[in-house]
Amino acid sequence: MATFVDRVVLHATGGDGGHGCASIHREKFKPLAGPDGGNGGNGGSVVLEVDPQVTTLLPFHHQPHRRAASGSQGMGDHRSGATAEDLVLAVPDGTVVKSPDGEVLADLVGAGARYVVAPGGRGGLGNAALASPRRKAPGFALLGEPGETADVVLELKTIADVALVGFPSAGKSSLVAAVSAARPKIADYPFTTLVPNLGVVQAGDARYTVADVPGLIPGASQGKGLGLEFLRHIERCAVVVHVLDCATLEPDRDPVSDLDVLEAELAAYAEDLEVAAGGVPLAERPRVVVLNKIDVPEARELADLVRPELEARGLPVFEISTASHEGLRALTFALAERVTAARRAAPAQEATRVVLRPRAVDDSGFTVQRREGGGQVWFAVRGEKPERWVRQTDFTNDEAVGYLADRLARAGVEEALLKAGAVAGDEVRIGPDTDAVVFDWEPTLLTGSELLGGPRGSDVRLEDRSRPTRGQKRREYTERMDAKAAARAELWTEREQGVWTDPDA
């Protein structure tokens, strides 16, 4: 059963947004007190976050499909739906997020680094939020948007200061176990190490990490053996240590030829690597040669024989024995010096800059194209806003469809259709070809008998009566008082004339 996974394919889906609510407030003596439908809650997003306690991508190997929670639906009495929490997935430090085509989307380095893989959908607006002076009582609400779906490739590139490379059974795992508290698997057969092993080394005041890369063989950069699968783990190292076996029993091998093969494989692998700004190419990073297993007499003699040739190449050479721990102290302190120098020469980490990309002045936010195929002619409308409005529309509600038509007309879609040559009755598709909304276009009439009625969503029972001003109220009051005084005077005059007392009058 796998215990270490450094490459997985993650299928992430954001949560759906909750639907808005269409409701009318009702209470005693107020049967139609106005719209009070609440908004739907936003769906949760799928987020990757670096956790120093996580060292493998194994959880994603067992569960590659992850989906965030959806937002709740809005309710009456202006109650909005609950917003769903984001699904935060912990990944190891050094995880690279790529698209299925190989494009690097994010390089997560450092505790707390985050990347949103699949954003959640936005909640739909309730009819209370859709009310306006022209549409006082909407009988519809907007639907919540579905969450986005994304397939990404996660690759783990171990962040270590020192990388141990060498042939199988060269003693790399034994070296890690001898200089650190790590206890990797050690055996007397090739390819014992199937996964990279990490160890922390303390040399005086310096502390650094050592990575044991599975054994390399000729052709590893082309996919032979296990080298190609794990060569990515040495991309971030500061020092490369060649562990050479001086006690090998193979007749066609010796430390010098092993070093040449290792350098050739690293050079072939480094050709395809992109160097970060201010970084050092893999071929130019410090090299250290370790002649291992000198506790064997024949191995010590071979190490003394090849050491001058290796030093002539300008490489520092250390003779060690992981069994007797001979030469390990000098090696650990020498590596500490080189790691410290590499850390000082590394460029300072700059704060992430916020890049603002405002939309162009002449950018309408959508495109209209005339297309032909299969003997049919249609007009394709693509754009973020039109497609979002279509997803939010409840097509079972005629009023909601009318609201969508008004939004498209205000955005200039109808004008663009006219310029593209569309006429009444032509087929219009909004959205991608695989999931588009298809309808027959009917241009909005700007004049005619349809303007005699109220706008869509209006209710004559809820028409707003304009409130009189204070001056108007005073004039009305004065006119009423004057009318009452005139009526009293007329009645008094008739009473004095005996109109009410004399029957003959």
Residue 272: exposed, middle, or buried by beta-carbon count in 10 A (0-12, 13-18, 19+)? exposed
User: Is residue 13 a contact partner of residue 46, using CB atoms and an 8 Å limit?
Assistant: yes
Alpha helices in 346-435 (DSSP H): 384-391, 398-411, 413-419
H/E/C letters for each residue in 243-308? EEECCCCCCCCCHHHHHHHHHHHHHHHHCCCCCCCCCCCHHHCCEEEEEECCCCHHHHHHHHHHHH
Orientation of helix 297-312 relative to helix 255-270, angle to 10°: 50
Question: Is 47 labelled a binding residue?
Answer: no
Question: Is 421 labelled a binding residue?
Answer: no
Q: What single-letter amino acid sits at 242?
A: H
Residue closest to 87 by CA, chosen among 129, 115, 109, 126: 115
Question: Is 484 labelled a binding residue?
Answer: no
Question: Is 306 labelled a binding residue?
Answer: no
Question: Is 60 labelled a binding residue?
Answer: no
Distance between CA 142 and CA 400 in Å, rounded?
A: 8
Question: Is 99 labelled a binding residue?
Answer: no
Question: Is 502 labelled a binding residue?
Answer: no
Question: Is 167 labelled a binding residue?
Answer: yes
Question: Is 172 labelled a binding residue?
Answer: yes
- Measure the CA angle with vertex 318, ends 315 and 321; round to 5°: 150
What backbone torsions phi and psi does residue 255 show, to the nearest 5 degrees?
Answer: -55, -35
Question: Is 295 labelled a binding residue?
Answer: yes
Question: Is 224 labelled a binding residue?
Answer: no
Question: Is 213 labelled a binding residue?
Answer: yes
Question: Is 166 labelled a binding residue?
Answer: yes
Question: Is 180 labelled a binding residue?
Answer: no
Question: Is 117 labelled a binding residue?
Answer: no
Question: Could you tell me the maximum CA-CA distance found in the chain, to the nearest angstrom?
Answer: 157
What backbone torsions phi and psi does residue 368 show, to the nearest 5 degrees?
Answer: -125, 125
Question: Is 191 labelled a binding residue?
Answer: yes
DSSP annotation of 134: S
Tell me which H or E stretch contains 370. strand 366-373
Burial annotation 68-105 (CB, 10 A radius, 16+ → b, else e): bbbbbbbbbebbbbbbbebbebebbbbbbbbeeeeeee
Residue closest to 245 by CA, chosen among 173, 185, 312: 173
Those residues with Cβ within 8 angstroms of residue 138's Cβ, 6 or more apart along the chain or in another chain: 22, 35, 127, 130, 131, 399, 403, 457
Question: Is 170 labelled a binding residue?
Answer: yes
DSSP-assigned states of every residue in 326-353: BTHHHHHHHHHHHHHHHHHHSPPPPPPP
Question: Is 29 labelled a binding residue?
Answer: no
Those residues with Cβ within 8 angstroms of residue 420's Cβ, 6 or more apart along the chain or in another chain: 368, 369, 370, 379
Question: Is 136 labelled a binding residue?
Answer: no
Question: Is 215 labelled a binding residue?
Answer: yes
Question: Is 23 labelled a binding residue?
Answer: no
Question: Is 241 labelled a binding residue?
Answer: no
Annotated binding residues for GTP, written as ranges, equal: 166-173, 191-195, 212-215, 292-295, 321-323
Binding-site positions: 166-173, 191-195, 212-215, 292-295, 321-323
- Write out the binding residues for Mg(2+): 173, 193
